[in-house]
């Protein structure tokens, strides 16, 4: 991956790389992945850490996403405006179906999970949902739209022009044995989703 020489572009690419790496990344790993000099990488890392966007594990020297990003994320989610009234609907759907319920938005070719309620647990004849706080749910994840039920539903109801533009940017990578990796097969699946009104995982 090669990025521009602009410091802001590099800092944003660096944050994106660290966020996607479980356990974090060392300076040398980031430098190699982004193809920027280690000295430049170190300079950007130091400033992002100083501002709270990254933290550095003193034992492993690995950089991880810092708490300042959570503040930004919550601000962005708050501005979406619909989570407060949509949340009770998610809980009702989860109770009625016995399945997890989620809301997502398309960001280019990715689906961003903006709220999610896990599947309920059975207790006798009742379905019990542990209402976990929002900061303990799987919120804020970005996933390829073609490989999730949520993403495929969102794609299925785009206008044809918007769908084709989105597919031009979408890399149909295989994430599971059932992932659709053919554009023709995906378009066929999206037509089926519009007919039946729901999508399945894979």
Could you tell me the CA-to-CA distances from 96 to 87, 90, 117, 151, 167 in Å, in that order?
14, 10, 13, 22, 34
Q: Do 10 and 47 touch, CB atoms closer than 8 A?
A: no
Confidence check: pLDDT of 74 > 90: no
Supply the pLDDT for residue 184: 93
The three-class DSSP label of residue 62 is: coil
- Most distant CA pair in the chain, distance: 61
Q: 73-196: which CATH topology? A: Beta-Lactamase (3.30.450)
Residue 155 CB neighbour total at 10 angstroms = 24
The three-class DSSP label of residue 52 is: coil
Supply the pLDDT for residue 61: 93
Output the pTM of the full model. 0.60
Indicate the domain borders of the chain.
7-66, 73-196
Could you tell me the CA-to-CA distances from 61 to 36, 57, 106 in Å, in that order?
19, 5, 35
29-70 pLDDT, tens digit per residue, is: 999 999 999 999 999 999 999 999 999 998 999 999 988 887
Read off the tokens for 40: 């430049």
- Calculate the dihedral angle through the C-alpha atoms of 101, 106, 107, 108, rounding to the nearest 10 degrees: 140
Q: 7-66: which CATH topology? A: Arc Repressor Mutant, subunit A (1.10.10)
99-143 pLDDT, tens digit per residue, is: 888 888 888 888 888 888 887 775 444 555 555 544 444 567 788
């Amino acid at each position: 991956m090669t990025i521009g020489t602009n410091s802001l572009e590099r800092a944003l690419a660096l944050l994106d790389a660290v966020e996607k790496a479980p356990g974090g990344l060392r300076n040398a790993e980031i430098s190699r992945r982004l193809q920027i000099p280690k000295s430049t990488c170190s300079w950007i890392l130091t400033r992002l850490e100083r501002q709270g966007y990254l933290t550095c594990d003193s034992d492993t020297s690995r950089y991880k996403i810092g708490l300042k990003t959570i503040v930004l994320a919550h601000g962005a989610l708050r501005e979406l405006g619909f989570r407060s009234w949509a949340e009770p609907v998610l809980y009702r759907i989860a109770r009625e179906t016995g399945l997890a319920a989620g809301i997502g938005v398309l960001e280019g070719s990715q689906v961003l999970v903006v709220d999610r309620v896990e599947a309920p647990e059975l207790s006798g004849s009742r379905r019990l949902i542990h209402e976990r706080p929002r900061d303990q749910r799987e919120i804020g994840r970005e996933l390829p739209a073609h490989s999730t039920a949520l993403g495929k539903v969102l794609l299925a109801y785009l206008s044809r022009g918007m769908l084709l533009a989105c597919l031009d940017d979408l890399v149909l990578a295989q994430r599971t044995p059932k992932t659709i990796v053919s554009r023709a097969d995906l378009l066929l699946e999206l037509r089926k989703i519009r007919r039946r009104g729901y999508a399945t995982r894979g």
